[in-house]
Amino acid sequence: MIIAAIIVAFVLAYLIVKYLPLKLRWIASLVFLALTALLVVMIYDGVMKPINFDKKKKVKYAKVIENLKIIRDAEIAYKQVNGVYTQDKALLIRFIDTAQRALIETRDTVVKVNKGSKWQPVMVDVEKRVKDTIGYEPILKDFKDRDYKEMFKVPGVDGKEFDLEVSTIEKIAGLLVPVFEARTEKSGILKGMDISLVKAEKEAIAADQIKGEYVSVGSLNEITTGGNWPPSYDKQDRDKKDN
């Protein structure tokens, strides 16, 4: 559009110089002044639009990712206790409210082991690692000051919840490993923003961008509990740990 405006301006300038009488050229000057102002606005808008889009999308994504992190931590805690993930959203919330995890203490001890036979025993000291349950703690402790009861709602998207699925992957022959994935479409998060920029965002592949059409955590195709967002969205978490 900007290029088209420049071309039109050059064409008008040529026509004015060639055909417009001198006494009317002051009118042309006003027209060119208005066109110049319009062109400046268009150029500024063309430069700033993607910059503002990038700022706004990051704010929106950060809120969405915060909820995905809560879902991830809830699923990990659920698997630690139950050995599997769950796609029952209400169950996962109740789990956080009521469940407890065992506190395990690992210690090394020396035991006598018979390295001989039943009739000719040869007792040898062998070091053995022993795990003892020394108590229990509520899962809720890990979710203090986190809005886990609303974790399945997609921030900024009315009435929308994250899609949540669980499955298994065969890591090696006969060994099935539980996996989960929670995700939501970028198009819903960015609704109302520039259509062309949203389309480009859904095709993002750069390392500093959230790749693809979804913002997600976990995967049904590989064994991971990570999200598909770049490390910049985890900076606040790292800062909290450092402090």
**Mean per-residue pLDDT of the chain:** 87
Verdict on whether the full-model pTM lies above 0.85: no
Residue 72 structure tokens: 């991830």
Place of tokens 């704010």: 59
More confident of the two residues 9 and 74: 74
Banded pLDDT at 117 (limits 50, 70, 90): confident
- Alpha-carbon distances, residue 57 vs 66, 155, 214 (angstroms): 14, 12, 13
pLDDT in tens, 155-213: 999 999 999 999 999 988 889 999 999 999 999 999 999 999 999 999 999 989 999 99
Q: What is the predicted pLDDT for the residue at 105?
A: 84
Whole-angstrom distance, CA of residue 49 vs CA of residue 195? 12
Looking at residue 35, its amino acid is: L
3-state SS string over the chain?
A: CHHHHHHHHHHHHHHHHHHCCHHHHHHHHHHHHHHHHHHHHHHHHHHHHHHHHHHHHHHHHHHHHHHHHHHHHHHHHHHHHHCCCCCCHHHHHHHHHHCEEEEEEEEEEEEEEECCCCCCCCEEEEEEEEEEEEEEEEHHHHHCCCCHHHCCECCCCCCCECEEEEEEEEEECCEEEEEEEEEEEHHHHCCCCCHHHHHHHHCCCCCCCCCCCEEEEECCCCCCCCECCCHHHHHHHHHHHHC
* Domain locations along the chain: 2-47, 48-242
Q: Number of C-alpha atoms within 13 angstroms, CB side, residue 215?
A: 27
pLDDT in tens, 47-83: 788 999 999 999 999 999 999 999 999 999 999 999 9
Whole-angstrom distance, CA of residue 205 vs CA of residue 210? 7
Greatest mean pLDDT range, 1-15, 38-52, 112-126? 112-126
Residue 44 has pLDDT above 60, yes or no: yes
Whole-angstrom distance, CA of residue 146 vs CA of residue 150? 9
Q: What is the predicted pLDDT for the residue at 10?
A: 59
